[in-house]
Structure 1
Amino acid sequence: MTDEVAKAVEECARVAKHAAPSLATASDEAIDVALTAMADRLVEHRADILAANEEDVARSRAEGMSAGLLDRLTVTGDRLTGMADQLRLLAGAPHQERSVDVSALDGGLTLVERRRPVGVIGANYEARPNVTVDVASQLVKSRNAGVLRTGSAALGSAQRLIEVVVAPALTAAGIDAGVVQLVPRTERDAAAALVRLPDLVPLVILRGSGETTRALAAEGATHGVRTLAHADGGGVLYVDEAADADTVAGLVSGSLDRLGVCNRLNLLLIHSAVYERLWPVVSEALAGRDVTPSLPPHDHAIGYEWSLDSDREATVTVASVDGLTEAVTIANEQTSGLAAGIATEDSAAAEAFFDAYQGTGVFWNAPTRLLDGFKLLGVPETGINLDRVPGPRGPVTYTDLYVRQYAVLPASR
């Protein structure tokens, strides 16, 4: 890592930390005004934003970027409108209670839980311009300053979004625009620099390919930086012997509307008792999405995540299993633990699947594509945390980005 890159990241962190009190002390009204202004400016500056994104897409296409990654990188008019709609919903969402009574203590005292901003939160993500707005808005709503670092493919789009949407909206609401910083460097080393600043950026949200994200999480741990890492994904669907054919067809098709996303269908496990009967249904649904099945014997790990494979994104692994126990064991032990679903008309089987699966999201006759902050909770997410320890798990939103502080004070306060 060059000193120039490290200094650029550190300077962003220092600016964000200096500006952080402006956001931490802002009124609820000012924050919601800023978020609403961001939504308005997305619409007002639509042409400017789309033009910057078109430049990023054209350059990346010329460099050979895969279709799935280009889909992530592209901002269409409809997607931009969706971003604005989400911002307005976030502006109208309730703010976290800053102080909550917990219990009465002896001696006329009361225990109170106070919820304080982290201070400065970092975020590293790749070719997804919409994440710039998603994360920035979540940080603003939770009163945390931020340092954002995106990959070179999306940097032009991200810079335009900060310049014409985020920063002016904050300023107009009376909040220091310095609270949201975008690292102006394309080098990959900038990501590593972001997880090495525990005194400035104690928490970093990591989104991206599994290997890179895991490496950054390990780097952060060695430097005392906590990370919320979204390293791996891939949805699992188990087709039970009591599954309805039409339901299965709908789930397979509905789970593959986009291929470059983590919560798409990745692994399809079919009960051996119904495999022959339902395979034509499954095959037709896959063909309808131009997706190729990877059938046994597999030349890859059964949980291999196809959305990260730029050459074979349009693939789903298919396997026959002896029953629910084998299916859930595979989902628990050989996949990322992001999400798994069961297709069945047997409520007892569904309950058994729910009890046995240990992953972040579990679904019954519903697609794993629903594991998304906006779809489940009505607000954008910063990412999906797969940790199997206490703390925020699943879609992480503004309600998770705080530090708990206990306070004891007189009950008669």
Structure 2
Amino acid sequence: MRVPGVAGCGRRKDGTVTDEVAKAVEECARAAKDAAPSLARATNETVDAALNGMAQRLLAHREAILKANRQDVSTAQSTGMSTGLLDRLTITESRLTDMADQLRLLASAPHQDRSVVVSTLPGDLQLVERRRPVGVIGANYEARPNVTVDVASQLVKSRNAGVLRTGSAALGSATCLLEGVIRPALAEAGIDERVVQLVPRAEREAATELVRLPDLVPLVILRGSGDSTRSLALTAAQHGVRTLAHADGGGVLYVDENADEDTVRSLITNSLDRLGVCNRLNLLLIHDAVHDQIWPIVSEALAARGVTPSLPPHEHPIGYEWALDSEREATVTVARVGGVAEAVRIANEQTSGLAAGIATEDAATAEAFFDGYQGTGVFWNAPTRLLDGFKLLGVPETGINLDKVPGPRGPVTYTDLYVRQYAVLPAGR
């Protein structure tokens, strides 16, 4: 895809971003902002028709989408991309069908009330909370073409225009999804198709430009590896752009002395079905009292998934995220702990705070774990892989926000993508 009026050009010899990359991002942002009113005033029925149209087009254009994705995967393989990243990049027949099913579910999900009466005020007045779209929301993500549909659909449902930016690995697939699925469905529903933009440049500098436009794109969703996402979040803050950043992950599982062995085996197995995702098992903490007894079960479960344990003494931080290590992603850190208090302390202080679970049959211990852990998701005899917008809430997510501030936390969906406006008006109006 090429944005009209944007010339193709490479880099300067000194490696700095070209004016053309910055221009491409800005033109996408301006186009999205110009088209945003078309979506903001669309009826609920129109929005849902667009989402159902996307689902239909995903299936109708299945072969073209899979072909474009195969080309992306082939190119990535030739450059030595890791198995976990290739898994993220790949769209299979079943994943494409799941994408269509999720779009239909999103279309059938209830719309947020645009106005909610809060209270009455003196003078025969009432206070109303109005929920308004942000306007234009940006999104930066790497080798995950399905995120193109996930984010675009969430933005449409919440009536926000969007500027999407992905890297070179997924750009072919993302372009096919935009041009063959998303935009035609919007147009057929009567919504300006320009409300969803895809930056047509693969340079990483395009992501930096996206977080420098506070007047055009005041909020940007950041998904990707920890260091790059943190760097983009810092740049955004310096330019007055707010972010919902999903930089780090890694699930924690604490095996208590009262854990059921079959439950432990199941949790490990079900937490490692995919190694390149943020909510997989990353750190396994085992109570000293049962370590030797349960180790054969743990070892067997890890081996069944082709995963190698990293045992003490560790030459890396205990919360090191293996999903981001292209050479050693099939690894889980294992450590012994003295009890639930030590497990909670490690999960709080030495991991990302994404998700932690406990395997135990003792309710009091589980409650202590729940009360102590401060992260985004906490699980009792359940795998951290469940920390996902669709698995938890029945709709796709734009990402998982780990901020410890008021606002959307955990899986962010269309119900979170609005700003509040307080209105005072005569009672009964």
Please classify the TM superposition score into its range, dividing by the shorter chain length.
Answer: over 0.9
Counterpart check, 1:232 vs 2:232: no
Counterpart selection for 2:135 from 105, 119, 130: 119
CA drift at 1:391: 0.6
Counterpart selection for 1:285 from 301, 306, 313: 301
User: 1:384 corresponds to which residue?
Assistant: 400
Under a length normalisation based on structure 2, what TM-score does the superposition of the two structures give?
A: 0.96
Secondary structure of the residue aligned to 1:274 is helix
Task: Extract unaligned runs of 5+ from structure 1.
Answer: none
Counterpart check, 1:368 vs 2:384: yes
Q: 1:40 and 1:297 mapped to 2: Cα distance?
A: 53
Matches within 5 A, 1:7-406: 7-406=23-422
Deviation per residue, 1:84-142 (Å, 9 max, x gap): 00000000000010000000101100000000000000000000000000000000000
The residue type equivalent to 1:270 in the other structure is: I
Q: 2:138 and 2:74 mapped to 1: Cα distance?
A: 28
CA drift at 1:205: 0.0
Deviation per residue, 1:167-222 (Å, 9 max, x gap): 00000000000000000001000000000000000000000000000000000000
Secondary structure of the residue aligned to 2:316 is coil
Percent identity of paired positions between Structure 1 and Structure 2: 79
Q: 2:428 and 2:107 mapped to 1: Cα distance?
A: 34
User: 2:9 corresponds to which residue?
Assistant: none
CA drift at 1:2: 1.6
Deviation per residue, 1:229-272 (Å, 9 max, x gap): 00000000000000000000000000000000000000000000
Deviation per residue, 1:244-302 (Å, 9 max, x gap): 00000000000000000000000000000000000000000000000000000001000
Q: 1:412 and 1:169 mapped to 2: Cα distance?
A: 39
Q: 1:2 and 1:203 mapped to 2: Cα distance?
A: 24
Task: Extract unaligned runs of 5+ from structure 2.
Answer: 1-16
Secondary structure of the residue aligned to 2:235 is helix
Counterpart check, 1:411 vs 2:420: no
Deviation per residue, 1:306-329 (Å, 9 max, x gap): 000000000000000001011000
Secondary structure of the residue aligned to 1:152 is coil
CA drift at 1:412: 3.1
Q: 2:209 and 2:116 mapped to 1: Cα distance?
A: 37
Equivalenced residues, count: 413
In angstroms, what is the RMSD of aligned CA positions? 0.3
Q: 1:2 and 1:358 mapped to 2: Cα distance?
A: 43
